[in-house]
Copies of this chain bind each other. A is one copy, B any other.
Amino acid sequence: MALRAAVRSKCGLSAFLSQRSSCSSHGRVCVSPVLIAQQRNNSTSSKIKVDFDQSTGVAVMRLQSPPVNSLSLDFLTEFCIATEKLELDKSCRGLIITSSQPRVFSAGLDIMEMYQKSPESCAEFWRAVQEMWLKLYSSSMVVIAAINGSSPAGGCLMSLTCDYRIMADNPRYSIGLNETQLGIVAPFWFKDTMANTVGHRNTEMALELGLLYTPSEALKIGLVDQLVPEDQVLTTATQTMTKWLAIPAHARQITKSMMRKPTIDKLTSNREADIQNFVTFITKDSIQKSIGMYLEMLKKRKG
């Protein structure tokens, strides 16, 4: 979806196209093998790097799937496993999510998971997207998004599930649920999450137009909570986390659950229907044809 956006919308994502080709010639952040003894707290998979500091109770999760942290099935699976592991670790009380890729937090769902795949594969993929959302939106940890790059579509959704959003104050970055720009409809739980954050009218206009916001626009409507210079995103997230962790945890968790439960229940009780909706839509001939033409065009660009 992210790539398709780049072509159709010209808003904020086109940079990723050139990057995808150029990045492939760069190495990605080198991942050293970790000792078994460390694996409980610090795990490095191919796409996600987790550093857990026992002394503070805070884990930093770095998305490091070049070029643009696309949310593929593999990525989502690793992400959910890593998050679940931290959730079950009672000593882990806070999670900061950030990106190791330059200029992008996450470009959203991986379009390759939706092209020429069986209905079963599409269903498996969509279930993984739901799972990511459910894990994050219902997390008992304090979850802070350190948004150090653009964050369209699924990347924005990931940010929206967090308790607090800090974004790099770089006007070249953008954030938003821009699915409509790509001819795709954000499902009801994307919509609900956004409405819970910026209200009904902002959500209506944002989703009808598939708007991508600059950081200052995003701050103005409450899509992010704070802007800081790019090199201070992570340190600010760490400082903010300290404040959040000073709050009595049990009361904070019950309060968070009270705020979010109705929205979560709506997906959990409609999960299979939501998957079916997605599969029916994405496997349509017209949609597949459109994706195919798009990928064809991408190949030519790279050639």
Separation in Å of the A263 CB from the closest CB of chain B? 9
A interface residue numbers (CB < 8 A to B): 8, 163-164, 179-186, 188, 191, 195-201, 203-205, 207-210, 222, 225, 243-244, 247-248, 250-252, 254-256, 258-260
Separation in Å of the A211 CB from the closest CB of chain B? 10
From known contacts A196-B201, A244-B209, A251-B185, infer whether A258 and B180 are also in contact, taking CB-CB under 8 Å.
no
Considering the chains assembled together, what is the distance between the CA atoms of A60 and B130 in angstroms?
43
Considering the chains assembled together, what is the distance between the CA atoms of A203 and B80 in angstroms?
28
Considering the chains assembled together, what is the distance between the CA atoms of A251 and B199 in angstroms?
21
Which of B210, B252, B255, B256 meets A247, CB within 8 Å? Answer: B210
Q: Is the CB of B259 within 8 A of A180?
A: no
Listed by A's residue number, 21 A-B pairs whose Cβ atoms lie within 8 Å are A163-B205, A163-B208, A164-B205, A180-B251, A180-B255, A181-B247, A183-B251, A185-B251, A188-B258, A195-B200, A196-B200, A199-B200, A204-B256, A204-B259, A204-B260, A205-B225, A207-B255, A208-B247, A208-B255, A208-B256, A209-B244
Which of B8, B180, B199, B258 meets A199, CB within 8 Å? Answer: B199
Considering the chains assembled together, what is the distance between the CA atoms of A179 and B250 in angstroms?
12
Separation in Å of the A122 CB from the closest CB of chain B? 18
From known contacts A247-B180, A258-B191, infer whether A252 and B201 are also in contact, taking CB-CB under 8 Å.
no
Q: Determine chain A's interface SS by DSSP, over half rule.
A: helix
Separation in Å of the A273 CB from the closest CB of chain B? 14
Q: Is the CB of A183 within 8 A of B248?
A: yes
Closest-by-CB residue of B relative to A196 is B200
Q: Is the CB of A255 within 8 A of B197?
A: no
Known: A199-B201, A204-B260. 9 other contacts (CB 8 A): A183-B250, A186-B255, A191-B255, A191-B258, A196-B201, A198-B201, A207-B258, A207-B259, A208-B252
From known contacts A180-B248, A248-B180, infer whether A196 and B204 are also in contact, taking CB-CB under 8 Å.
yes
Q: Is the CB of B199 within 8 A of A259?
A: no
Which of B184, B204, B205, B258 meets A185, CB within 8 Å? Answer: B258
Separation in Å of the A152 CB from the closest CB of chain B? 15
Considering the chains assembled together, what is the distance between the CA atoms of A233 and B208 in angstroms?
22
Separation in Å of the A145 CB from the closest CB of chain B? 14
